[in-house]
Chain A
Amino acid sequence: MTDNTDKIFDQAAAFQKLWMDSLTEMAGIWSQYSAGSPPIDEMRKMRGGMLKVLAETWDEYMRTPQFLEMMKASLNGALDLKRMAREGMNRVHEQFENPSKQDVDAVLLAIRHVERRLLDRLEGLDDRVANLNERIDNVDEGIAKQEKAIERLEQTVRTKVEKPAPTPRKATRAE
């Protein structure tokens, strides 16, 4: 309880600081007012300056832990409310034996699980097919290499057979 109260005070203080800083710095912009220039141009300049200061102080504020806590609390509150409303509606649907959002989601999720399992299996099969293809390619490559080697061997043998036997060198006798 005390923690919550402290948090609320902190948040209020941060919010107050935001406005104090914004107003102080916005007031500071007016010190740059130049009476010599046409008022319309000067007013535009002042407006631009004030909006810039406001943007900077807000950006700074939205980074404070107090703002983040406040954002968390309001979002959680909204979500709790939505969940309570849905639970109430679910009970009504249940009494009237109508399908509720929860039921629809459960069916969708079940379909999704089946789909996921099928996809996983398919992907597994896909991988296996890819592996098998790779192996077949390797085997094909091996066979092709062997065939080439056989061809080369055959070629060599044929060349040897077809090549006429070298004529015996006549012995020259150096007399």
Chain B
Amino acid sequence: MDKEASNGADWETWQASFINETFANLRRLTAIPFLPDKMEQVRKGVTPREVVYEEDRLKVYHYIGEGEPGFKTPLCLVFALVNRPYIMDLKEGRSIIAQYVKAGFDTYLIDWGSPTRAERFLTTDDYVNGYILNVVNFVRERTSSDNVNLLGYCMGGTLSTMFTALHQNLVKNLVLLATGIDYSSRESLLNLWTDPRYFDVDKFVDTVGNIPAEFLQSAFLLLKPVSNLVDKYINLAENVHRDEFVDDYLHMETWLNDNIPVPGEVYREFAKYLFQQNLLVKNRMPLGRHMVDLRKITCPLLNLMASSDHLVPCSQSAALNDLVSSTDKEKIVWPAGHIGLAVSARAQKELWPRAVEWLVKRTD
């Protein structure tokens, strides 16, 4: 009797499940024609901004907050050379920049622009001691401040770290997100693929010049082939009727597919000196006439890393806190991936207010 009753209950649950799924499928089907419209509505950056500085391909955006900035020391954001920087201001409620602007920081962002063949011989030195230095000096002059707060993301974090080591007097606080410093671990596939036994970086750069965006994009996709080429699309198909999901998905995809080439010489230096020889942790990273010595970093440091980062694993970032001379240093490992660290709903709600507070306490 009990068994029969249980079978009856099972049958009802099954029926309900089939009916729900059928209706969900209908909702999914009816949502598909609206996708192109939604795609067109995707904006690249949401916080009001103005271009205040230009040099070659580079532009510096100044973000306009409500009222006067609450702090004298401005904040300068440095993004990687491989993608566009609007991930830091992706959409309403998913913007690191908006969080800092709202807190009263005078915020600036470097957009590197897309390098042409003329930029293929630019080196890391040109970026660190050329562009970043010029931007920092410009921002200091514009805000009448002695130094700036620097926030670097991914490769931008590595550039910011090098800059701080060489120009410590110009940096008040350093905030890093998913920044590669110690490349000795073989946890990330990228480190493995750039092993000198299997990858001749000189031959590659000499032949292709600037590293094509398509090459970088394929490499990133291949890091997680199942997730990037199968899982993602199944998720979209299942959630295509949910407006919020689709909006997030389209913003992310727009950004992920908006790659730019990397100047050949910068790529050569990163692959050779960092991925292959790991010179930064040995304080022997050459930058033009200079040598980057991480021990020269003395300012407060906040090192944010993601526990599920497949691109820059925690082991690659965490080492920095032991290599600098700063006494005020903190690291936070957040349960997210490389991008989720910046834009996931939870990170925006819990991590970033903490990171903003950290900077507030240390800024005039």
What does DSSP make chain A's interface, helix, strand, loop or mixed? Answer: helix
Q: A40-B21, A47-B234, A68-B195 are in contact. Are A62 and B117 (CB under 8 A)?
A: no
**How far does the Cβ of B63 sit from chain A's closest Cβ, in whole Å?**
31
A108 and B118: CB pair below 8 A?
Answer: yes
Q: A72-B199, A79-B204 are in contact. Are A54 and B226 (CB under 8 A)?
A: yes
A40 and B18: CB pair below 8 A?
Answer: yes
State A62–B195 Cα separation when bound (angstroms).
13
State A83–B204 Cα separation when bound (angstroms).
10
Q: Of A41, A68, A112, which contacts B121 at CB under 8 A?
A: A112
B192 and A63: CB pair below 8 A?
Answer: yes
A108 and B226: CB pair below 8 A?
Answer: no
Q: Of A41, A62, A69, which contacts B222 at CB under 8 A?
A: A62
Contact with B along A122-166 (1 / 0, CB 8 A): 010000000000000000000000000000000000000000000
State A85–B288 Cα separation when bound (angstroms).
34
State A55–B14 Cα separation when bound (angstroms).
30
Answer yes or no: B120 CB below 8 A from chain A CBs: yes
What does DSSP make chain B's interface, helix, strand, loop or mixed? Answer: helix
Report chain A residues within 8 Å CB of B186: 63
B120 and A68: CB pair below 8 A?
Answer: no
**How far does the Cβ of A16 sit from chain B's closest Cβ, in whole Å?**
18
Report chain B residues within 8 Å CB of A47: 234
Report chain A residues within 8 Å CB of B16: 38
State A3–B46 Cα separation when bound (angstroms).
57
Report chain A residues within 8 Å CB of B193: 68, 71
A79 and B207: CB pair below 8 A?
Answer: yes
Query: What are 14 pairs between A and B in contact, CB < 8 Å?
Result: A38-B14, A51-B226, A51-B230, A51-B231, A55-B226, A55-B231, A58-B226, A62-B222, A68-B192, A69-B198, A71-B198, A72-B198, A108-B121, A123-B288
Interface residues of chain A, those whose CB is within 8 Å of chain B, are 36, 38-41, 47, 51, 54-55, 58-59, 62-63, 68-69, 71-72, 75-76, 79, 82-83, 86, 104-105, 108-109, 112, 119-120, 123
Interface residues of chain B, those whose CB is within 8 Å of chain A, are 10, 13-14, 16-18, 21, 117-118, 120-121, 186, 189, 192-193, 195, 197-200, 203-204, 207-209, 222, 224-227, 230-231, 234, 288-289
